[in-house]
Amino acid sequence: MISMTRLVAVAAVVLALATLCPAQENVKPTDLGKGAEFKGKKIEMKDKGQVAYLLSFTAGRAFEATTDGTKNTDVHLYVYDTAGKDVGKDDSPGPKCSVKVTPAKDGKYKFVIKNAGGDNTVTFEVKVAE
């Protein structure tokens, strides 16, 4: 009986961790090159769809990543550093998101965009400070 209780407790912990960190797994990122050269991307997203992109940035040069959709679906934007640490997110309701980050070191940052509430065309843009 004790082992069954432990099994249930471990399962509950695993489920809780999966719920707290849902955005980063399940999506293989596409490398889009250098953030300073990125011109933006239009994405056809299905309901409950998600995409992930990698962009390289230089330490100390702030960037702002944004999304906007043609329809009023719920779009979320998550940003992770080279170590996989969450460095910014916008999970507010609606299609518009904005995350500002100043990289501490050179490297690739992962952007995860999630959509819910119906199909949508989402524009993803990144602007790097001069």
- pLDDT digits over 17-72, tens only? 444 444 445 789 999 999 999 999 999 999 999 999 999 999 999 999 999 999 99
Do the beta carbons of residue 99 and residue 65 sit within 8 Å?
yes
**Predicted confidence (pLDDT) at residue 10 exceeds the cutoff of 70:** no
Which has more confidence, 23 or 98?
98
The pLDDT of residue 27 is 80
Tell me how far apart the terminal alpha carbons of the chain are, to the nearest angstrom: 63
Stated pTM of the model = 0.81
The C-alpha angle with vertex 90 and arms to 41 and 73, in degrees rounded to 5, equals 65
Going across the sheet that includes 41-45, the strands are: 41-45, 120-128, 63-69, 97-101
